């Protein structure tokens, strides 16, 4: 299936708020956590820089590539001690070796390959698929990706479970959901890379919380999987902000899917739900210039201590009105009207 638009499947259903969630301003980082934040992450991310450049290796990359190795260990430890989560994250990091690329290249049109790759991914746990031409700005400095295409895979959230974030030692539902989304991303990205290789084309998989060399949100936006939200995560018209991403890069000839504008950016400019829900107050009200692009930006120095202490957090994406299945269809209708578009399916 390929009609030039990112493809998606249905998600699991609704819910309400989580009383365990602290509100903005009620959180103070522990001194021992702050002590591990030795340098600000905002200059590393290029906050205030007006020229386009590739992102610098950052959190989740190997500790010798950035200054937050010990904080990563704190974050990993706090997320793994929650009930159920350790197994989920083991699955997220477990994958087979990719087989050699088949010696004979199958010949087909880019449209046929794009349609087959999309169908394959949707049949193997992807909730959505977008295809974008590779751009050097998607690749972290110090890494090389040679393949000219990136297939972005969306992993659908289960809102009933996601809304339980943040987790702790008594309730691991939210972080286990996160680990299981990543595990699905690992399985489908390796399965797709394997399938592409069996047709004689190179393919690499980029799953997990880190996705290694590949920055995932920009190609997800380019390929029509959604718009950037004020909370720094992608908002998708079918899943809201709760989806997670994985990537497959390939030299199989493909066709790009189109960007999708449904009004999330405009909505974020007046919505304050995530800014008010974020305990450390890390989400900025206004767009800022980051590496040559004016866009929503989350303050890393404020976000990461709470993230590290709170088993992956995720409050901003769970609270986002677009993530709530009961609210999203109304927002789509309202924003379509405001943008002068025909109302579209949720």
Backbone dihedral region for residue 224 (phi beyond 0: left; psi -120 to 50: alpha; all else: beta): left
- Least Å from the CB of residue 45 to ligand B12: 4
Cβ 169 vs Cβ 161: under 8 Å: no
Nearest CB to ligand B12, comparing residues 60 and 111: 60
Binding segment for ligand B12 (CB under 6 A), chosen from 144-152, 193-201, 261-269, 311-319, is 311-319
- Least Å from the CB of residue 218 to ligand B12: 4
Rounded distance, CA 179 to CA 325, Å? 21
CA distances from residue 215 to 23, 57, 138, 256 in whole angstroms, order as listed: 30, 10, 5, 18
244 touching ligand B12, by CB under 6 A = yes
Task: Report CA torsion sign: 49, 55, 58, 64.
Answer: negative
- Residue 56 is given by DSSP the state P
Rounded to the nearest 10 degrees, how much is the dihedral formed by the CA atoms of 143, 175, 46, 267? 120
241 touching ligand B12, by CB under 6 A = yes
Nearest CB to ligand B12, comparing residues 145 and 243: 243
Query: Following DSSP, what letter does each residue of 195-249 receive, concatenated?
Result: HHHHTT--EEEE-TTT-TTB--HHHHHHTTS-EE-TTSSEEBTTTBT--EEEEEE
Binding segment for ligand B12 (CB under 6 A), chosen from 195-203, 250-258, 301-309, 321-329, is 301-309
Backbone dihedral region for residue 291 (phi beyond 0: left; psi -120 to 50: alpha; all else: beta): left
279 touching ligand B12, by CB under 6 A = no
152 touching ligand B12, by CB under 6 A = no
Cβ 95 vs Cβ 190: under 8 Å: yes
Binding segment for ligand B12 (CB under 6 A), chosen from 10-18, 86-94, 98-106, 240-248, is 240-248
Q: Which of 205, 215, 254, 332 binds ligand B12 (CB under 6 A)?
A: 215
Footprint (CB under 6 A) of ligand B12, residues 44-63 = 45, 55, 58-60
- Least Å from the CB of residue 86 to ligand B12: 15
- Least Å from the CB of residue 209 to ligand B12: 6
Q: Which of 132, 271, 303, 320 binds ligand B12 (CB under 6 A)?
A: 303
* Number of residues binding to ligand B12, judged by CB under 6 A: 38
101 touching ligand B12, by CB under 6 A = no
249 touching ligand B12, by CB under 6 A = no
Cβ 336 vs Cβ 344: under 8 Å: yes
Binding segment for ligand B12 (CB under 6 A), chosen from 16-24, 94-102, 115-123, 231-239, is 231-239
Kindly report the number of other CB atoms within 10 A of residue 37's CB atom: 19
Q: Which residue has the tokens 């400019």?
A: 269
Cβ 127 vs Cβ 8: under 8 Å: yes
In the complex, the residues that contact ligand B12 under the rule CB under 6 A are: 45, 55, 58-60, 178, 209-211, 214-218, 221, 228, 231-234, 241, 243-245, 290, 293, 295, 297-298, 300, 303-304, 307, 312-314, 316-317
């Amino acid at each position: 299936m390929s009609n030039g638009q990112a493809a998606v499947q249905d998600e699991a259903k609704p819910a309400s708020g989580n009383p365990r969630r602290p509100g903005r301003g009620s959180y103070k980082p522990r001194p021992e956590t702050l002590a591990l934040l030795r340098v600000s992450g905002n200059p590393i991310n290029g906050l205030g820089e007006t020229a386009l450049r590739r992102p610098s290796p950052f959190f989740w990359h190997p500790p010798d590539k950035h200054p937050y190795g010990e904080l990563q260990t704190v974050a990993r430890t706090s997320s793994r001690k929650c009930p159920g989560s350790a197994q989920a994250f083991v699955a997220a990091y477990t994958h087979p070796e990719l087989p050699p690329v088949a010696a004979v290249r199958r010949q087909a049109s880019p449209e046929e390959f794009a349609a087959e790759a999309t169908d394959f991914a949707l049949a193997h746990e992807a909730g959505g698929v977008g295809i974008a031409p590779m751009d050097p700005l998607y690749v972290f400095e110090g890494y090389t990706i040679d393949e000219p295409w990136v297939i972005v895979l969306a992993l659908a959230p289960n809102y009933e479970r996601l809304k339980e974030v943040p987790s702790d030692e008594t309730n691991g539902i939210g972080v286990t959901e996160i680990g299981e989304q990543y595990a699905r991303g690992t399985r489908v990205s390796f399965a797709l890379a394997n399938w592409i290789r069996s047709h004689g084309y190179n393919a690499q998989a980029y799953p997990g919380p880190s996705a290694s060399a590949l920055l995932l949100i920009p190609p997800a936006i380019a390929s029509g999987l959604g718009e950037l939200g004020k909370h720094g995560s992608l908002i998708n018209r079918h899943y809201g902000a709760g989806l997670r991403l994985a990537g497959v890069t390939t030299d199989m000839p493909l066709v790009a899917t189109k960007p999708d504008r449904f009004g999330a950016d405009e909505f974020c400019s007046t919505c304050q739900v995530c800014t008010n829900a974020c305990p450390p107050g890390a989400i900025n009200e206004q767009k800022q210039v980051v590496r040559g692009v004016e866009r929503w930006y989350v303050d890393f120095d404020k976000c990461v201590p709470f993230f590290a202490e709170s088993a992956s957090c995720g409050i901003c994406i769970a609270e986002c009105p677009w993530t709530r299945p009961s609210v999203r269809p109304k927002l789509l209708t309202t924003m379509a009207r405001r943008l002068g578009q025909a109302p579209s399916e949720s």
